[in-house]
Amino acid sequence: MFVFNVSLSQQIRVTGEGRLKWHSTNLKYFDSTILYTQTVQNINQNLYSTCGDEAVPNNDSSWMHVSFAILAAKSPFFYKLFSNGTRESEQRYVTLRINASEEAALIGLLKFMYTSTLSVTTATGLLDVLMAADKFEVSSCMRYCSRLLHDLPMTPDSALLYLEIPSSVSKADAVQPLMDAAKQYLASRYKDLLEFAEELLNLPLAGIEAVLSRDDLQVDSENEVYDFVLKWARLHYPKIEDRREVLGSRLGRLIRFPFMSCWELDKVLTCDDFDHDHRSKVVLEAFRFKAEAPYRRRTILAMESAVTNRRYVERVYKFRPMKVVEFENPHQQCFFFLDLKREECENLFPCGRVQSQLFHLAGQVFILTAQCNTDDQRSPDWFGLFLGMQEIGLGPLARRWNAMGCKNLFVIPWTDFMADDSPYFISGVLHLSTQLTIKH
C-alpha cells in the first residue's frame, strides 16, 4: 500500500496487500528542495516508518515522502488524478490497487521520476519498470527502459519477450526501437531457413513473423517458405478453424506467392489449410503477376506499400523464379524466361552458377542453369546455359540429372560478354528465353 501526501509533498505507505493510497494534507510552505533530497534518499535506502495518525492504520505499513509537482510534471496520470476536480482529487484518502509483484517496479519508477536514472540492470527488472511506466503514463521512463534493454546482450528468449511488449502496453511507439532490434536479431540468427528449420518450428507466432518478413531470408525458393509455414501452422494450430484464421490474417501475407513455382501454386488451390476464397485470391494474383511484362511488374511493385506489404518483392533465392508458358498442342511444349542482372552475371565469374526453380513438363522435372565455365586454364571463360532433366525412378532425396546445353552460348569470350558496350544487356538485364518441346 502506498499512501501519497498530495500537495507539495506526499507520503508513500507500503504494505504487502498491493494497494496504493494517497493521503492529502496542506503543506504549501514546504521546502521542495529539501523534500526532493529527502525523498531520493528514502527511495534509495528503502526507508520505512509509521505514517502517523492521519494514515489508515496498518501494522504492515511504511511510507516515504514524494513531491506532487514532480509526479504531475512527469505523468499525466498523476496530474489528472490530483488536479482535475474529480472525487478522487478532493478526497483525503485516494486508493489505487496494484499487484504485490508491482511494488519494486513502482518504487523504481518513482526513483526515475526524481533522478532520471534506474538502479535496475536485469532484463526482467527493466521490463517490470517499463510496464509500470506505461500503467502510470511515464513515457520518458518507457523510452529510457527501452534504450537500456536495447543495450543489453540479446538472446532468442529476450528477443521473443520484447516482441510481446506491444500487446501489453498502450504506448507501443515508445518501445518501437527495441521491437525493431529484436526483429533484426531473430532475422539475422535464423537467416537460413533450412539450417534452423527444427528450431524455428518451436518459435511463437511473433518470432516466425519477424523471420519470414525479411527480404534476405536464405531459402532455396519461395516454395520452401510455403511448406514451412504449413508445417508450423499445423503444429501450433491443430484445429482447422484456428489454422485458417492465423494463415489468413497473419502468416499468409508473409508467403510471397508470386515467386512460387506454377507447379506449387496449383497445389495451393487444393490446400484446405487456407480458406477457399483466400487461396483462390492469392493464386490468381500470383499468376497475374507472373504474366506481366517486367516493366509492369515494376509498376505493380511501386504501387504496393513497401512497409506493409512485401509480397511482390523477390528474395535472394538459391533457385531463381522464372516465367513459364506451357502449351499442350500440337506438342507438349513450354517457353521459359529467366532474367539476370549484370551484377548477377558478374558474380558468376570465375566458376559460379545460377539455377532456376524446378519446373515440370510431361511428367518430367527440369532445371535451367546459367554459369561461367572453361575447358582448361589456357582457354577463355564463357557464358554457358544448360538444361537439366531429373532421372525417373529415383527417391525424393536422390536426384541425378542429365544435362544438355551450350558451354559458350554467345560464342564470345567472357570479357567481351561482360564489356560495357555488350549488346546482350538491356538496361542492365540479360533476358534469356528457352524453348523446350517433347515429341513422342
**Would you state the pLDDT for residue 106?**
87
- Predicted local distance difference test score (pLDDT) of residue 116: 92
pLDDT at 40: 42
pLDDT band (50, 70, 90) for residue 23: very low
Q: Identify the pLDDT of residue 86.
A: 53
Res 391: pLDDT: 65
In a domain, 103, yes or no: no
Residues 295 and 369 in one domain: no
Lowest-pLDDT choice from 90-104, 122-136, 303-317, 329-343:
90-104
- Residue 130, domain member (yes or no): no
Residue 395 scores a pLDDT above 60: no
Grid cell at residue 394:
529415383
Let me know whether 334 and 288 are in one domain: no
Domain count, the chain: 3
**15 close to 61: Cβ distance less than 8 angstroms:** yes
Residue predicted with more confidence, 139 or 295: 139
- Please indicate, yes or no, if residue 261 is contained in any of the structural domains: yes
pLDDT at site 64:
54
Which range has the top average pLDDT, 16-25, 98-107, 405-414?
A: 405-414
**pLDDT above 70: percentage of residues in the chain:** 77
- Reported as a single tens digit per residue, the pLDDT across 310-332 is 888 989 898 988 888 888 888 88
Positive or negative, the CA dihedral 146, 148, 151, 153 is negative
Amino acid of residue 407: K
Residue 299 lies in a domain: yes
- Span of 21-30, 339-348, 376-385 with lowest mean pLDDT: 21-30
pLDDT tier, 266 (very low <50, low <70, confident <90, very high otherwise): very high
Least confident range of 153-157, 254-258, 394-398: 394-398
Query: Can you give the residue range of the structural domain that contains 239?
Result: 218-303
320: its cell numbers:
531463381
Confidence of residue 277 (pLDDT cuts 50, 70, 90): very high
Q: Which of 203, 172, 175 minimizes the C-alpha distance to 190?
A: 203
Q: What is the pLDDT of residue 399?
A: 57
Q: Is residue 116 in some structural domain? A: no
**Domain containing residue 385: CATH number:** 2.60.210.10
pLDDT above 60 for 42: no
Mean pLDDT of the region 253-265: 92
Tell me the sheet residues that pair with 218. Answer: 192
Mean pLDDT on 189-201: 94
Cell of 251: 502468416
Instruction: Give the C-alpha separation, 437 to 361, whole Å.
Output: 9
Q: How far apart are CA 218 and CA 228, in angstroms?
A: 13
Indicate if 298 and 328 belong to the same structural domain.
Answer: no
- Residues 237 and 327 both lie in one domain: no
Q: What is the pLDDT of residue 85?
A: 53
Q: Which residue has the higher pLDDT, 102 or 346?
A: 346
Q: How many CB atoms lie within 10 A of CB 103?
A: 19
Please identify which residue in the block is written with the cell numbers 558468376: 348
The predicted pLDDT at position 4 comes to: 45
Distance CA 367, CA 322 (A): 11
Tell me which of 304 and 339 has the higher pLDDT: 339
Find the range with the poorest average confidence among 211-225, 231-245, 381-395: 381-395
Residue 35 CA: distances (Å) to CA of 7, 40, 41: 12, 9, 10
How much is the pLDDT for 305?
59
Alpha-carbon Rg of the chain, whole angstroms?
Answer: 32
Residue 118 pLDDT: 94
346 and 289 co-located in one domain: no
**Does the pLDDT value for residue 108 go beyond 70?**
yes
What is the average pLDDT score of the chain?
Answer: 80
Assigned domain for 209 exists: no
Domain boundary among 97, 121, 151: 97
Same domain, 357 and 386: yes
Whether residues 233 and 285 fall in one domain: yes
Rounded Cα gap, residues 193 and 211, in angstroms = 9
Residue 270 has pLDDT above 50, yes or no: yes
Indicate the residue among 68, 97, 126 that finishes a domain. Answer: 97
Q: What is the mean pLDDT of residues 236-247?
A: 96
Domain membership flag for residue 185 = no
CB 370 within 8 A of CB 347: no
Per-residue pLDDT, 397: 45
Q: In this structure, is residue 26 part of a structural domain? A: yes
Asked whether the predicted pLDDT for residue 375 surpasses 90, the reply is: no
| Predicted local distance difference test score (pLDDT) of residue 50 | 32
What is the rounded average pLDDT of the residues 225-234?
A: 97
Q: 178 or 28: which carries more pLDDT confidence?
A: 178
Name the pLDDT band for 428 (thresholds 50, 70, 90): very high
Same domain for 327 and 423?
yes
Please indicate, yes or no, whether residues 33 and 63 belong to a single structural domain of this protein.
Answer: yes
pTM: 0.75
Cα distances (angstroms) measured from residue 366 to each of 248, 315, 321: 32, 22, 13
Mean pLDDT of 296-300: 81
Per-residue pLDDT band for 29 (boundaries 50, 70, 90) equals very low
For residues 298 and 347, state if they share a domain. no
Confidence of residue 411 (pLDDT cuts 50, 70, 90): very high
Mean pLDDT of 115-127: 92
Higher pLDDT pick, 310 / 93: 310
How buried is 34 (Cβ within 10 angstroms: 0-12 exposed, 13-18 middle, 19+ buried)?
exposed
Task: Retrieve residue 110's grid coordinates.
Answer: 518513482
